[in-house]
Every structure is written in C-alpha cells, then in structure tokens.
Amino acid sequence: LLIANENLIVECLSKEVFSVATNSELNVAQFTEMHDANTIVVARCLALEAELANSRNKSHHDNQK
C-alpha cells in the first residue's frame, strides 16, 4: 500500500508539472484553477497517507493481541 500511495503522489505531481511545462500560455485564471486542483490533489494524497498510517497502526495493534 505504501508503494502504491507513493506512486499516486508521484503521478499526481508529475501530471501537474507536465501540464504547466507544456502550456506556457496559461492565463492567471487558468493557473489559479490548476493551483486549486493541485491543492485538492495534494490534500487527498495526504489524507491517503494518514489513512495508510492509521491502517498500519491498527494492524500492528491487532497483531500484538
């Protein structure tokens, strides 16, 4: 799960960088929209990381019983 989550983060960021690099004619509104979308994606990635950490902790706790 950790590798999949890390791959998701890399994929999300790579897509954003590619979009910016290949479209140099973005206007301010488009950039703002992309930045907002990126912020949402980053927040989702962080939420997935937290969920994964919680799952690991629960699994570790369950294995200690």
Residues of the chain with pLDDT under 70: 1-4, 20-26, 28, 65
Q: What domain count does the chain have?
A: 1
The DSSP secondary-structure symbol of 25 reads T
User: How far is the CA of 11 from the CAs of 4, 17, 26, 62, in angstroms?
Assistant: 10, 10, 21, 32
pTM above 0.85?
no
Q: How high is the pLDDT of residue 40?
A: 94
Q: How high is the pLDDT of residue 64?
A: 80
Q: In terms of residue numbers, what domain contains 7?
A: 2-64
